[in-house]
Amino acid sequence: MPTFLIIFIFLAAFLRFAALFVSIHNEKRMKADGAVEYHAGTSTLLAATHIVFYLAAIGEGFWRDAPVTGVTYLGLAIYALAMLALVWVLKVLGRFWTVKIIVARDHVLVTNRLFRALRHPNYYLNIIPELIGFALALHAFTTLAICLPVYLVILFLRIRQEERVLREAFAGY
């Protein structure tokens, strides 16, 4: 595998851990102030599936000795756009952003244009493209074909749960 793809793997892992650090920080602060977490089991399952996806794609990339082709660059571009979307979501949601479903006592419903037009932009503009881009960059086509559908089933369960929590928590949702 080319060195720059190994660097990409480490950079991707670093970005995921950095986002997790932000999530844990926000979660601790909100829970200390009385926030409530919902559907923890699904959050754990989703996180585990994310890790399995990454490890499978990395393993497949090494197994295939991922070449550098147009697919690699397409994957890197998709991944980069997904990370920009994550940064934007982090900025918009601020202290309320976590990888879990948590509603703080002082939670404010985000109602900007994109959140009104596209519910859950973090999932559709960050998570799904991130996984697709990561797998494509590493030529992990089997991982993409097997793991992405499994991930999507869990993600859509998570979205349904989150929708239910948001409807209960916010009258205007």
First-to-final CA distance of the chain: 47
Domain boundaries, the chain: 3-169
Joined tokens for residue 123: 């999932």
What dotted CATH number matches 3-169? 1.20.120.1630
Give the pLDDT score at 85.
96
DSSP 3-state percent helix, strand, coil across the chain (nearest 5) = 75, 5, 20
CB neighbour class for 112 (10 Å; exposed up to 12, middle 13-18, buried from 19): exposed
Joined tokens for residue 95: 């202290």
Joined tokens for residue 143: 């991982």
pLDDT tens per residue across all 173 residues of the chain: 899 999 999 999 999 999 999 999 999 999 999 999 999 999 999 999 999 999 999 999 999 999 999 999 999 999 999 999 999 999 999 999 999 999 999 988 888 888 888 889 999 999 999 999 999 999 999 999 999 999 999 999 999 999 999 999 988 77
> What residue type is assigned to position 112 of the chain?
N
Q: From the CA atom positions of the chain, what is the Rg in Å?
A: 17
